[in-house]
Amino acid sequence: MDGEFDFGKLGPAMKALPNDRWRAACIAFVTGPSASHGHKGYIEAVIAAGFEGARESLRVQAHRMFHDYRMQAAVIEEARKTMVGMVPVARAAVQEIAQTPGDPQRLAAAKTILDRAGVHEVHEERITQEVTVSVEFQQRAVLMAQKMGLPIEKLLGHRLAKKIPAAVDAEFAEVKPRTLEDIL
């Protein structure tokens, strides 16, 4: 059975499968008549791919195959490929709903069309942060501004300067550094 698939047309997940039987089981699972049966389609897919044996051994083989990460990636890859073929059908259905006056899904269809066309709904988020300034910080900022000869707004910026009341009048005395002789 190896050699049945054109490797140039396979995606990377299908190429990563061990052999063409696994590939056939994947395609049978995704597109076959049992595809809508969920896990019950595993055995049918394995049989369609040419695996033989007792029902119980096929069940075990199918379970192992379809729980292998490579097969799971291939199933997703193949399912996406089949969905691309359905895009025109889906587009026509959405268009029909959007153009039918009184259809309860008309607004949802219109939103879907706008979304897919890149005209997205606008979301706004406002974040408010409260800044508190301690009395000690206020006093130090006022003293520093005075020493530098700057308005408090220049030192801290307008937003933070507004947090310092104009009435902060700090009395400071310059302290001379203490020496060992002063302490003794």
pLDDT in tens, 11-43: 999 999 999 999 999 999 998 876 555 556 899
User: Is 127 part of any domain?
Assistant: no
Examine the domain organization and report whether 110 and 170 are in the same domain: no
To the nearest 10 degrees (0 to 180), the angle between helices 20-31 and 69-84 is 50
User: Is 130 part of any domain?
Assistant: no
Whole-angstrom distance, CA of residue 133 vs CA of residue 163: 7
Residue 53: DSSP 8-state: S
Examine the domain organization and report whether 139 and 173 are in the same domain: yes
User: Is 155 part of any domain?
Assistant: yes
Residues 61-70: tens digit of each pLDDT: 999 999 999 9
Question: For the chain, what percent of residues have pLDDT higher than 90?
Answer: 37
The count of domains in the chain is 3
User: Is 2 part of any domain?
Assistant: no
137-159: average pLDDT: 84
Mean pLDDT is lowest, of 122-126, 154-158, 179-183, for: 179-183
